[in-house]
Structure 1
């Protein structure tokens, strides 16, 4: 697993947020990459909360949003893939809204893969806002994965 700053094409971009559907999306993308020989770029987006001032009360530990996102991404890749998989997996941690980040990352990709919903508040929704946005605006094919796959 390596950082994907310079990965060009062909590649499959997969959105990861640590949720079960995103783990399923990563598993699907890795299996597809094993069949096609494409690289997988696992992407997690992070941003400051809307009410974030950047100031913490005295004695309150500071929080590193980017580092937390990197940990979630690393753990998800480790938990969702076999150690002996032949696919080339790269990771990207990018600041911004998930839909915008994934659209940008998938500009020249052969495919973008996401779970049917992420960690948002509408857990009963059949399709999350990021997946819906991608299906309307992505310039490459979009695959929405529902749930996790058996390893």
Structure 2
């Protein structure tokens, strides 16, 4: 892929909003032939003035599993043949996404992820991306799932 080709970068956190963003990106890539990169970022939580013990789990492996599950389930649901490059990065999600894109890319994020307040139109990550990304940002609003399961 040359530097001039557009790439679609999708922020994944395992939430319904990030899966909606991935569905949109896959459908768009099916029509345009562009490359899709699904990126999940993680950081150890920080607590002011408290030394929290680190869990015995491997955050990289947990993030990798969550990313693989989201990509496999979403591509299967859509029957998509788009190849999705998967990246696990240690760092703050908003900063990591902004640093991962080039000016000729398209960044796709869900309107809200796992954090924040339900009912807020934009979450902190999507808001940061909209304000700081060097490329266009598409924020996909997640619709509530029908009774039959995810759409």
TM-score (ref. length: structure 1): 0.83
After TM superposition, the structure 1 = structure 2 runs for residues 1-150 of structure 1, keeping only pairs within 5 Å, are 9-51=5-47, 55=53, 62-82=56-76, 84-147=79-142
* Unaligned stretches of 5+ residues in structure 2: none
Q: Is the 8 A contact 1:13 1:109 kept in 2?
A: no
TM-fit CA distance, 1:10: 2.7
| Cα distance in 2, alignment partners of residues 116 and 131 from structure 1 | 6
**How many residues are aligned here?**
142
* Unaligned stretches of 5+ residues in structure 1: 1-5
| Cα distance in 2, alignment partners of residues 68 and 134 from structure 1 | 24
| Cα distance in 2, alignment partners of residues 143 and 121 from structure 1 | 19
Once structures 1 and 2 are overlaid, which stretch shifts more, 72-81 or 36-45?
72-81
Over residues 14-48 of structure 1, what are the superposed CA-to-partner deviations in whole Å (9 max), with x where a residue is unaligned?
Answer: 00000001000001001111111111000000011
TM-score (ref. length: structure 2): 0.83
| Cα distance in 1, alignment partners of residues 39 and 99 from structure 2 | 11
